[in-house]
Amino acid sequence: MSETVVIGAGLAGLAFAAAARQSGVEVEVREERAELGGGAGLTIWPNALVALDTLGLGEAVRDLGEPAASGVIRRGDGSLVRRLDPIATMRALGEPARVVDRGELQALLARAAGPVRLGAPLGDVAEVDADFVVGADGFRSVVARHLDPRLGECPAGYVAWRGVAPVAVDPTTAGVVWGDCAEAGAAPMRGGRTYWFATRADGGELDPADWPEPLPELIVATPTDQVLRHEMVDRDQPARWHDDRHVVLGDAAHAMQPGLGQGGCLALEDAVVLAGLWAEHGPGRRTFAEFERRRRRRATAAQRSSRAAGKTLHSPRGQLAGTIARRAPETLALAALARFGSREAGLRAVGGS
C-alpha cells in the first residue's frame, strides 16, 4: 500500500507531488489518461510565479512563457475600450504575467514530480490502496464527490473555444475583445505561436468573421482537430474539502469559470500551501483543516468574481461593462487585477497571511 496517492496529473497534482518530493515526502501520482499533454495556452500570473519560485521552477517557467502584452480591451468592431499603461500595470502586478503552452508547463512539472502512473482508472475512492488520497482530479473530481455526494453544477450559459495558432502576431493587436454576449482574446507565445480563445452565449458555431483581426487569422490557422470546444459549466465547491483520509485541491476543490484566468494559478498556490503544511505537521485532519481554512476564502472570492464576469460578458449587460471599463479610473482596473494576480497577492497566499 502506498502511504499517499495523488489522483490526477494536471497542474495541481503535479505541483503538489513536486513540492512534497522536495520536502522528502514520497507520493504516488495516478492519472486516468494514457499520456500527459494536451490543452492550449495558459496565462501564469505573478501570484502563481511566486508559488513556482517556491518549487524552484519560477525561472524555468519565465523562460518557457512569453511576457503578456499590455492590457488592451476592444469592442467587437475593433474600436478601443481602453489600454492599460504598461508601467502602471507592472507596478501593480510586480512583474509581467507569462503566457505558456499548457502541455509544456505540465511536462516541466512532471519532471519535478517524479514518476506518474498513467492509464490508472479511478472507480471507487474507498478502494484506493493508500493511507491518504489527494484529489487533484479536476472539475469532474471523483474525490470531491466522495466528500460531498450532493455537489451541484449547472450550465454557465456559454461556449468556449481555445487554440494555439502556429503564427505570430503583432503584440499591439493582442488583448481582449468584448463582443455582443461574447468575448475573445489573443496572446503571443514563444516559438512564433499565439494563444487565442473565443466565447459566445448562443451556443452556435465559431465564426472567424465575428471578430476583428488578428482573431480571424488565428482561428483559420489553427488545425480544426486542435481547437478545443467546451460548454462552460458552473460548479459549486464541495461542502467540505477533506475528511480524515481525503483532501481536494485545485479545480477539484474550487472549479471556476475562466473570466479571471486564475483557475490554474490558484491550483499552483494550493499545491505549495498543502505541501508546506504536510511537511510541517504530517498528513491528516489537522493539516487538511488548516489547508482549507487558509485557502477557501481566497478561492471562493475568485470563483465568485469569475462567475460574475461570465454572466456579465455573456449577457446584454456586457455593453454596459464596456462603458464602465472605459470610464473607470485606471487605478481601479489595476487594483482589480492585482487583487488576485499580483506578486504581492501570491506572497500573502503562499506565506499564509
Q: pLDDT tens digits, residue range 300-332?
A: 999 999 999 999 999 887 666 666 666 677 888
Average pLDDT, the chain: 93
Encode pLDDT of 152-193 as tens digits: 999 999 999 999 999 999 888 899 999 989 999 999 999 999
Q: What is the mean pLDDT of residues 288-302?
A: 98
**Per-residue pLDDT, 319:** 67
SS3 15: helix
Encode pLDDT of 113-154 as tens digits: 999 999 988 878 888 989 999 999 999 999 999 999 999 999
Structure confidence at residue 240 as a pLDDT band (50, 70, 90): very high
Give the residue from 66, 323, 16, 141 showing the smallest Cα distance to 4. 16
* Cα–Cα distance measured from residue 281 to residue 292, given in angstroms and rounded to the nearest whole number: 15
Q: What is the mean pLDDT of residues 238-255?
A: 98
Q: Check pLDDT > 90 for residue 290.
A: yes
Domains of the chain, each with CATH number or no CATH: 2-351 (3.50.50.60)
Q: What is the mean pLDDT of residues 88-105?
A: 95
Contact 41, 261 (CB under 8 A): no
* Cα–Cα distance measured from residue 287 to residue 59, given in angstroms and rounded to the nearest whole number: 29
Give the residue from 172, 296, 300, 292 showing the smallest Cα distance to 243. 292
Contact 107, 37 (CB under 8 A): yes
Q: Check pLDDT > 50 for residue 1.
A: no
Q: Which residues of 21-53 are buried (b: 16+ CB within 10 A; e: fewer)?
A: bbeebebbbbbeeeebeebbbbbbbbbbbbbbb
Q: Which residues of 135-156 are buried (b: 16+ CB within 10 A; e: fewer)?
A: bbbbeebbbbbbbbeebeeeeb
**Start-to-end CA span in the chain (Å):** 36
Contact 172, 166 (CB under 8 A): no
Q: Check pLDDT > 70 for residue 280.
A: yes
* Cα–Cα distance measured from residue 201 to residue 181, given in angstroms and rounded to the nearest whole number: 6
Furthest-apart CA pair in the chain: how many Å?
61
Q: What is the mean pLDDT of residues 259-279?
A: 97
Contact 337, 89 (CB under 8 A): yes
**Per-residue pLDDT, 323:** 67
